[in-house]
Amino acid sequence: MATDTINTNINTRGAAQHTYDAIVIGSGISGGWAAKELCEKGFKTLVLERGRNIEHVKDYPTMLKAPWDFEHRGRMPNAFLKENPLISKAAGFGEDTAHFFIQDKDHPYVQEKPFDWIRGYQVGGKSLTWGRACQRWSNYEFEAPARFGYGADWPIRYADVAPWYAHVEKFIGVCGNNDGIEAMPDGEFLPPFELNCVERHLKQSFIKHYKNRHLVQGRWAHISQPNDIHEQQGRGRCQSRNLCMRGCPYGAYFSSVSSTLPWAAKTGNLTIRPFSVVHSIIYDEQKNKATGVRVIDTNTREVTEYLARIIFVNASALNSNLILLNSTSNRFPNGLGNDSGLLGTHIGFHLYRGFVNAFIEGYEDKYYYVRNPVECIVANYRNLGKQETDYVGGFTTFSGASRVRGAVKPEDPQIGATFKEAMSEPGRWEVYMYMQGETIMKQSNHVRLSKAEKDQWGIPLLVTSVGYDDNDEKMVKDFLNQSCEMLEKAGGTILNRIDNQQPPGLDIHEMGGARMGADPKTSLLNEWNQLHHCKNVFVTDGACMTSTGNQSPSILYMALTARAVNYAAQEAQKGNL
């Protein structure tokens, strides 16, 4: 067993040097928040990151490049694509961002069913390349799975997280409008970006034809107008370049690297250790709690034990499952805290298969000023508090309108000076809609450790066994039907109606495996994201999710993390941790 090998090589020199008040595994969107909150509360905190270090601005090599500065104008060469069929599929991946994604061969896993596991291994993790959508979950989403019998009950409700959403929104900077829609609650928002004229037309049309279908501006982690707290972070106003995923020189979109980690560092309580793969969490059978983590240095391969009395697991949903499953002891032979046997099961994701677009005639005398960094949303209108379709759950619809480039008609010249002028002008308006649908978390959709195969550090490979079900098929069909109908009623002519059949995972919203719940027999974590059976270990990334909802999850992870740190600090003060 890997554990045996590790014990013989262990670096036990200077245990005191390796002791902190708290350890955070992972530096992505939730790990950064754990670090910030812990450091602010005075905990000497070690953040472990398996990848390289990234410093704000300094390590954004492409942030100021023009399109012509890229040899292949954004495309990756064939040789790279052939070696990286997985990662090159990721949303936002290209010649300008490739350095913030892993390469396939370095990080194998076993797909029992097709599953695209998208990863970014560096300080900041995927918070550098995230989509930045920050809608709050509604209470409908927290209540629906238990109420309609398709999932376990959350131990919390919207009211429990609402103040923590506000706490996060104020700090990271979220722009949006307070629209008064129950399915997408209001929050502490900076001024929204404007809708363009065709989006305004769609908004009016949808509400005219369907009373409960609200097209509104999404809520996005862009500083549209900085407050004091953003200026204190050294972050400025969004310049609408819409090149976010390269890293923003203004720090205008939120990432761990631009915001939480430097903020945590300012307290003097933060240590970040890059190149540190966590092998497992160490459990002390006498003390009945975790005492630290085993870390493999990816450069030297040296194994070091780092000790702390509070451990936050924020390694990204599936890697957090992997670490817990690999943290075995006499007390927990099947993984840390896994008395229920459910660790690694009930994996969910978001349904991203449906895409529709259309062109809209008219509005040729209207345009917009340059580039829109955000998108509109049609808030979920399905199964809100009552079951009304032949599937369960609901979906959010992302949408937007813009003018395509090129005003060339088929009868016009297709070569030469006139053609060139026409291709240089804005053409007709087109509008798109794509879905982000809830999926049912089922025991059969699971991850587990490979018994035979290991990675380059001797850690078992993760096996993914996650697939679609009939509910998903019905929801995609309904999304496509409804979206086409809505666009046609708004005067649109449908151009594409696509079920792209992409494997689960490419949504980059994988969730679950260590779900929260009131009952230790059916869940891993309690209402405070604390392992029921190992109280000083908290899991606050996507692994904690009890259901998937239909809203983008990242800001919920951040809110749950801040809430859990607050609880951990109280418990520590009481001497309970």
Question: Does position 481 bind other proteins by CB under 8 A?
Answer: no
Residue from 1, 159, 417, 452 touching other proteins (CB under 8 A): that is: 417
Angle (CA) 131-322-92 rounded to 5° is: 20
Residue from 91, 204, 362, 444 touching other proteins (CB under 8 A): that is: 91
| Inter-residue contact 277 to 315 (CB < 8 Å) | no
For CA atoms 348, 85, 220, 263, the dihedral sign is: positive
Question: Does position 364 bind other proteins by CB under 8 A?
Answer: yes
Q: Which stretch binds other proteins (CB under 8 A): 53-61, 138-146, 180-188, 413-421?
A: 413-421
Distance CA 379, CA 386 (A): 16
Question: Does position 501 bind other proteins by CB under 8 A?
Answer: no
DSSP string, 480-510: HHHHHHHHHHTTEEEEEEEE--PPTTTTS--
Residue from 284, 285, 425, 488 touching other proteins (CB under 8 A): that is: 425
Which residues in the 322-361 window bind other proteins by CB under 8 A? 352, 355
Question: Does position 195 bind other proteins by CB under 8 A?
Answer: yes
Q: Which residue has the tokens 């790990």?
A: 31
Q: Kindly give, in sequence order, each residue whose CB lies less than 8 Å from that of residue 215, ignoring residues fewer than 6 positions away.
A: 199, 202, 203, 206, 207, 376, 377, 378, 399
Which residues in the 113-132 window bind other proteins by CB under 8 A? 130-132
Question: Does position 411 bind other proteins by CB under 8 A?
Answer: no
Question: Does position 400 bind other proteins by CB under 8 A?
Answer: yes
Residue from 423, 456, 470, 481 touching other proteins (CB under 8 A): that is: 423
Residue from 432, 479, 528, 538 touching other proteins (CB under 8 A): that is: 432
Question: Does position 369 bind other proteins by CB under 8 A?
Answer: yes
Which residues in the 255-314 window bind other proteins by CB under 8 A? none
Question: Does position 362 bind other proteins by CB under 8 A?
Answer: no
Q: Which is nearer to other proteins, 22 or 133 (CB)?
A: 133
Question: Does position 88 bind other proteins by CB under 8 A?
Answer: yes
Neighbours of 225 (CB within 10 A): 11
Distance CA 417, CA 407 (A): 13
Q: With helix as H, strand as E and coil as C, how does 425-469 read? A: CEEEEEEEEEEEECCCCECCCEEEEEEEEECCCCCEEEEEECCCC
Among 39, 16, 536, 50, smallest CA distance to 305 is for 16
Q: Shortest Cβ distance from residue 354 to other proteins (Å)?
A: 11
DSSP string, 127-141: GGT---B-PPPPHHH
Among 229, 230, 206, smallest CA distance to 216 is for 206
Rounded to 5 degrees, φ, ψ at 206 are: -65, -40
Residue from 213, 509, 535, 563 touching other proteins (CB under 8 A): that is: 509
- Contact map string, positions 205 to 224, toward other proteins, x by CB under 8 A: ---------------x----
Which residues in the 48-77 window bind other proteins by CB under 8 A? 66-68, 71-77
Q: Shortest Cβ distance from residue 105 to other proteins (Å)?
A: 14
Residue from 85, 163, 341, 362 touching other proteins (CB under 8 A): that is: 85
Q: Which is nearer to other proteins, 434 or 538 (CB)?
A: 434
Q: Shortest Cβ distance from residue 45 to other proteins (Å)?
A: 29
Q: How far is CA 362 from CA 366, 402, 487, in A?
A: 9, 12, 15
Q: Kindly give, in sequence order, each residue whose CB lies less than 8 Å from that of residue 118, ignoring residues fewer than 6 positions away.
A: 86, 87, 89, 90, 101, 126, 505, 506, 508
Neighbours of 368 (CB within 10 A): 16
Q: Which is nearer to other proteins, 234 or 427 (CB)?
A: 427
Residue from 367, 485, 570, 576 touching other proteins (CB under 8 A): that is: 367
Residue from 288, 299, 414, 570 touching other proteins (CB under 8 A): that is: 414
Q: Which is nearer to other proteins, 366 or 474 (CB)?
A: 366
Residue from 9, 424, 444, 576 touching other proteins (CB under 8 A): that is: 424
Q: Which is nearer to other proteins, 198 or 463 (CB)?
A: 198
Which residues in the 133-162 window bind other proteins by CB under 8 A? 133
